[in-house]
Structure 1
């Protein structure tokens, strides 16, 4: 499958190239330029990131040329998938973009784009960029070679062995923030948060677009429950590179804990838009909102899920809890009654029904349920309290 073996050199003339762009004429134009350059002997075309992934799973590819902005799956999302796959992650990638703004530069650094090429593309610019990328892939700088070894040691959880190699990578390229943030990653995974913080701060000071370091500093302060600092660093990371779902979720959770519910909602909706599995993400967000007391926000997320999956009892139960928490007893009742029909033995659901009926002064309905609950659990303190209140 995928990428070449580690020891295999990429031959400019014989290499296999994947071209990914949602505009078919652009794919064909790039292929024509490559033929003029006499670069590559095998070309595969894809109209979006998902199609590209299917090709990468089936065929060996030496170089990918990917458009930044595509429907279905963007260039960055495709690149993230490539870098997360052990068999594909070292494949050189050239990203094509209409502009080189700070967000693109930051995401290029974070996702390890080998190069990016500005539109309109010329034969000369394409040729020069490919030559540099393939030369670097065939003869990587010492720091890159060392960092790949460090990466393998981190994945094997051999953190103490990774540290001296990472120090060598820093010495090999002292002006780059990448080996420094990698040292931060080692200590973060060792759960030495103080040392991790020191290295990530140093990396961020060296490179004000090192979004990876800002993100991890946010994680560190969140672990320490320092919400103000976590907020500050997540916000910096989001401003630099807003298209990262996990970062957005963490940032949104911090916003919720700080009581900034409206802003958290905006961040969450952006994350949902970027997510490949929006319903699963909505459920996670809704549960977070429910647990932090943002009940109306939770209701919004769970209602969206309920419309698509109306038979899910767990979602109906969460909706009932959220509505009960906002004193919207009629809505809570409607969900609880539906659940009780499907699951007449659910003790918690009937306890909630009884509590609502007691609060609404519907004495006889409450009494009927409470008597059944008392027979099931005579020692239950909440049942006893509600019986006394219902008298």
Structure 2
């Protein structure tokens, strides 16, 4: 039993002012006697593993390790998983947190916090922890049976819990996952589909369905459930990348591009993600989208000669000679090229230019590029052959 007046509370927020504000509210409300702070999820996890806490109040948006990542660590720990957790978030993140609420948090609070809202949430959460309802008791029994290897018994307990809360998508989802452990694909799919139908905000079940259909190579259904979800977290990005790559392989490029665009709109590491997407597109023959992304990157970061070279080669490979010439000429005239590109890359630029000018009846310009190649690599076979042809 948790004593609400003497309980130990951990407040996790990257803003010192917010940590102190929540602490003061707890003290004024006489909730808890030991109140400690952490400024990010990683620090909080260390404290949780080293001490005993009855309640955690966690901010959603933090550096190093955010609130959802910390929540996942807590719920996956046998020693911490039953600890009540309240998530704090800004109004802008409300929909995302409501989705998370259907997974593992006990309650959420919107900023700016009020004394009344905090008191109400804390009391409700502690009351539920001290006096779990019938559905929760059966869920706990199901977990014990699952850990003991009795999957059928766990499913039965879950079904009893579902009778208490027939529209709880979390319970439906967990039943589906138990059926998956029993290799019952039909019931796995049925339960996950039902979970999404009773709670349209349950993106956890939705993305489990994406995985389910990807494993069966059912791309239309995988795409359907992915597009209806809200993209949050690294796992969602990874699923999107995998799905998009499979769509390109099957000739569904427009759908893949739509997913890539959605991922980029949400990605904090936008540049790195764009480079990754470019590589995926090039490997799978989706050159137009790759070129559009590379063009934007080069415009934003003209010092990225390596990416401009990749763009030039894509233009050349798709017979866009005028655009390729612009890129190759810009690269050839760039200062400090040898500090970024390898000698082989520099030679590749000059070889393309030499061939271009030979084809366009400008032997003197072509010869100049050939000579530059031979200064770098006197035995370069391609340059030597071009010299013979050009002479």
| Range into which the TM-score falls when normalised by the shorter chain | 0.5 to 0.7
Which structure has the higher relative contact order (CA within 8 Å, separation 6+)? 1
| Distance in 2, Cα, partners of 1:109 & 1:219 | 19
Distance 1:168 1:144, change over 3 A: closer
Corresponding residue to 2:261 among 263, 266, 274: 266
Residue matched to 2:194:
202
Residue matched to 2:162:
173
Greater C-alpha Rg: 2
Deviation at 1:60, TM superposition (A): 4.2
Deviation at 1:145, TM superposition (A): 0.8
Residue matched to 2:291:
296
Deviation at 1:258, TM superposition (A): 3.9
Deviation at 1:102, TM superposition (A): 4.4
C-alpha contact (below 8 Å) 2:41/2:64 kept by paired residues:
yes
Deviation at 1:44, TM superposition (A): 1.8
| Distance in 2, Cα, partners of 1:279 & 1:89 | 36
C-alpha contact (below 8 Å) 2:328/2:349 kept by paired residues:
no
Deviation at 1:58, TM superposition (A): 5.5
Deviations 1:234-269 (A, max 9, x none): 12112xxx3233324534653764414664343122
Number of equivalent positions:
355
Deviation at 1:93, TM superposition (A): 0.8
Instruction: Compute the TM-score of the two structures, normalised by the length of structure 1.
Output: 0.67
Residue matched to 1:382:
none
| Distance in 1, Cα, partners of 2:257 & 2:196 | 29
Residue matched to 2:138:
143
Secondary structure at 1:39 match in 2: coil
Distance 1:41 1:298, change over 3 A: same
Q: Please say if 1:93 is aligned against 2:85.
A: yes
C-alpha contact (below 8 Å) 1:177/1:210 kept by paired residues:
yes
| Distance in 1, Cα, partners of 2:32 & 2:358 | 79
Instruction: Compute the TM-score of the two structures, normalised by the length of structure 2.
Output: 0.67
Task: Give the unaligned 5+ runs of structure 2.
Answer: 360-365, 383-389
| Distance in 1, Cα, partners of 2:350 & 2:130 | 69
| Distance in 2, Cα, partners of 1:301 & 1:86 | 48
| Distance in 1, Cα, partners of 2:83 & 2:94 | 24
Deviation at 1:225, TM superposition (A): 3.8
CA RMSD of aligned residues (A): 4.8
| Distance in 2, Cα, partners of 1:321 & 1:192 | 49
Deviation at 1:89, TM superposition (A): 4.1
Deviations 1:348-379 (A, max 9, x none): 9989987886677569889999x9679xxxxx
Q: Please say if 1:105 is aligned against 2:94.
A: no
Distance 1:29 1:209, change over 3 A: same
For 1:272-291, what aligned pairs fall within 5 Å after superposition?
A: 272-273=267-268, 281-291=273-283
Residue matched to 1:216:
208
Deviation at 1:295, TM superposition (A): 1.8
Deviation at 1:65, TM superposition (A): 1.0
| Distance in 2, Cα, partners of 1:210 & 1:358 | 58
Secondary structure at 2:254 match in 1: coil
For 1:6-21, what aligned pairs fall within 5 Å after superposition?
A: 10-21=2-13
Deviation at 1:162, TM superposition (A): 2.7
